[in-house]
Amino acid sequence: MTRPRQLADAPSLTATVPRQLVHRAAVAETLLTDWRRTGTDRFSVSAQWPRAHGLHVSSDWSAYDPLLVVETVRQSGTLVAHTEYDVPLDHQFVLQELQVVTVPGKLGVGPLPAEPEVELAFTDVRYRGRRPAAVRYTARVLRDGDPVATADVAFTCVSAPVYRRLRGGRTPDTVTAVPVPPAAPAADVGRSLPTDVVLSSADGPDRRQLRVDTGHPVFFDHPLDHVPGMLLLEAARQAARLRTGPERAPVAYGARFHRYAELDEPVWIETSGGQRGDVQVLGAQGKSTVFECLVGTAAR
């Protein structure tokens, strides 16, 4: 007689963490599954990477994009800040610096979703009163025990009233994005769909307008009053592809974010370098630099 299947016989049960803890609206864009404290200011975060994704998995489903690592590291820091350092859920996180270096050849898609572990060390936590106002952390991303990436991230935490004052009345309801300009050819920036192209057709040598489509379900997972950092990093990725061609692929990002990129004014993306594999990307709005990013590339 066949005995009933016991829970212990079944695969371990996995669910994502609450999406609010990683500042996502869609469960499908929530990558983290668990976390635990491993020491003073040290934590281990579990994640799962889907085998298919509109942006972060190659069109042939063979490789994860390094920007998936970036998003995993971002979500990990956000999760730990809320759960272990008591940052309220209504606080805004403002990204200041981000350095992520991936290991070429370690981001292949397997027969099952990858389940990386992210080892976090909060190296500098500055408080305003009893709550963190600024955080810096490092991360090691492991896959089956093997290093996949390292990271260094810094952000500030802003309460809802302070954020409203900083934004001067700008909200998703009061700000209208500039018209989306014609797109660069999707194949030229390493994308399959024109809707995922975030750079315009050329506006002079190595200068293109950022295409900000507030209806994009990944970049604008929820309504925002500014251009999100992940969209700016995708612009850096696509600009590097235009600069180096398909023979090289981005493997590292070193970015500084200087100010909010506003929705109602064009952002211009300029590139230089590329001869030795590193591409310098600059984002400007008006007379101000919004962000700068050094994209490291490797031969495919």
pTM: 0.94
Beta bridge partners of 101: 150, 252
User: Which CATH number among 3.10.129.10, 3.40.190.10, 3.40.50.300, 3.40.80.10 corresponds to the domain 12-164?
Assistant: 3.10.129.10
169-299 and 12-164 share a CATH fold = yes
CA distance 299 to 278: 12
Examine the pLDDT at 142 and tell me if it is beyond 80. yes
Residue 8's pLDDT band (boundaries 50, 70, 90)?
A: very low
Whole-number pLDDT of residue 276 = 74
**According to the model, what pLDDT value does residue 224 have?**
97
- Please, are residues 206 and 271 in contact by the beta-carbon 8 Å criterion? yes
- pLDDT greater than 60 at residue 78: yes
> What are the domain boundaries of the chain?
12-164, 169-299
In the chain, % of residues over pLDDT 70? 95
Confidence of residue 3 (pLDDT cuts 50, 70, 90): very low
Residue 11 has pLDDT above 90, yes or no: no
CATH class of the region 169-299: alpha beta
Q: In this predicted structure, what is the pLDDT of residue 71? A: 98
For 204-262, write each residue's pLDDT tens digit.
779 999 999 999 999 999 999 999 999 999 999 999 999 999 999 999 999 999 999 99
pLDDT at 6 over 60: no
Residue 291 has pLDDT above 90, yes or no: yes
First to last CA, the chain: 55
